[in-house]
């Protein structure tokens, strides 16, 4: 009986150790950023800064933390790596919109948490605002646009909403541009085109000046029709009339005079 009691006591102690220690070792460490346990979006604006603090929860030993900006690793000081680590994102710009910062557990990088920057800003427009084209050619007015939230885009001509003609105008829009194509430009297309971007933050516009030149502007006027180009040639004695579509050439008789200069023979003395 004493032997059985001893075995039971040893098993009890073993189970107690399992209960006290094993669950802690098997529990996965959890990472938080600014107190959040899941990936999240951080709203911010250009010119501001953001502080991101990553911490380890449920750890039983010192844990090294790593920070990544997109796919690039952030260089951390030695005292900013163990159990808790912070990064400061300063001078946030429009280009930082959509950029992610990820905190990873050093020994197991599958344990991670990410923060995505949502940088809100009014529309920013740019483009070639002055073009000169010849009548009958094709032209493209490209309005480059950046905005968050996305802006509603429109084309105006001479301060009025552009009346689109199916066979004459074509509009193409991407996340970064708003393009107006005009096929076979006419003189009536001459004017100022305005790219309008309207968002919940602000409405912006950029003017494009289109100058349409007449096809023959600056060139010499035509010489009339073919009947007017016909020339009368009169036959003259001992002269020849050579007629073309535009000119009449009347050559005269050429006399070639060949002058011979006497050459004194030189004798060779051997």
- Evaluate if residue 21 carries a pLDDT over 60: no
If phi > 0 it is left, if psi is from -120 to 50 it is alpha, else beta; for residue 227 that is alpha
- Evaluate if residue 12 carries a pLDDT over 60: no
* Rounded Cα distance, 95 and 118, in Å: 11
Q: Within 13 A of 159's CA, how many CA atoms are on the CB side?
A: 0
How many whole angstroms from its chain centre is CA 184? 27
pLDDT of residue 15: 53
Q: Tens digit of pLDDT for each residue in 83-124?
A: 999 999 999 999 999 999 999 999 999 999 999 999 999 999
- The lowest-confidence range among 26-35, 87-96, 139-148, 239-248 is 239-248
- Evaluate if residue 7 carries a pLDDT over 90: no
Q: 């006591």: which residue's tokens?
A: 9
Q: DSSP characters for 78-137?
A: GGGSBSEEEEEE-S--GGGTT-EEEEEESS-TTSEEEEEEEE-EEEEEE---EEEEETT-
- Evaluate if residue 25 carries a pLDDT over 70: no
Nearest to 101 by CA among 90, 85, 117: 117
- The lowest-confidence range among 4-13, 51-60, 115-124, 173-182 is 4-13
- Evaluate if residue 226 carries a pLDDT over 90: no
pLDDT of residue 259: 42
Nearest to 42 by CA among 76, 77, 88: 88
Nearest to 206 by CA among 155, 138, 162: 155
* Rounded Cα distance, 32 and 61, in Å: 17
Q: Which residue has the higher pLDDT, 202 or 257?
A: 202
3-state SS assignment for residue 67: strand
Mean pLDDT of the chain: 79
pLDDT of residue 22: 44
pLDDT of residue 124: 97
Structure tokens at 35: 């107190």
pLDDT of residue 180: 97
């Amino acid at each position: 009986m004493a032997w059985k009691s001893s075995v039971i006591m040893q098993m009890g102690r073993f189970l107690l150790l399992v209960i006290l220690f094993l669950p802690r070792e098997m529990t996965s460490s959890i990472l938080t950023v600014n107190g959040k346990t899941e990936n999240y979006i951080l709203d911010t604006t250009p010119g501001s800064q953001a502080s991101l603090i990553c911490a380890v929860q449920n750890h039983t030993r010192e844990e090294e933390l790593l920070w990544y900006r997109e796919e690039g690793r952030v260089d951390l000081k030695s005292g900013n790596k163990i159990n808790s680590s912070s990064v400061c994102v300063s001078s946030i710009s429009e280009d930082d919109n959509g950029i992610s910062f990820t905190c990873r557990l050093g020994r197991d990088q599958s344990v991670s948490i990410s923060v995505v920057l949502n940088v809100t800003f009014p529309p920013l427009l740019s483009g070639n605002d002055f073009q000169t084209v010849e009548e009958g050619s094709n032209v493209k007015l490209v309005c480059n646009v950046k905005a968050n939230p996305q802006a509603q885009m429109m084309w105006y001509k001479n301060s009025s909403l552009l009346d689109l003609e199916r066979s004459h105008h074509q509009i193409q829009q991407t996340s970064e541009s708003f393009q107006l194509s005009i096929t076979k430009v006419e003189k009536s297309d001459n004017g100022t085109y305005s790219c309008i971007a309207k968002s919940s933050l602000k409405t912006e516009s950029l003017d494009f000046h289109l100058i349409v030149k007449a096809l023959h502007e600056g060139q010499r006027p035509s010489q009339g029709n073919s009947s007017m180009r016909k020339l009368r040639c009169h036959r003259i004695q001992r002269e020849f009339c050579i007629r073309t579509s535009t000119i009449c050439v009347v050559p005269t008789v050429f006399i070639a005079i060949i002058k011979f200069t006497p050459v004194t023979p030189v004798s060779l003395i051997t």
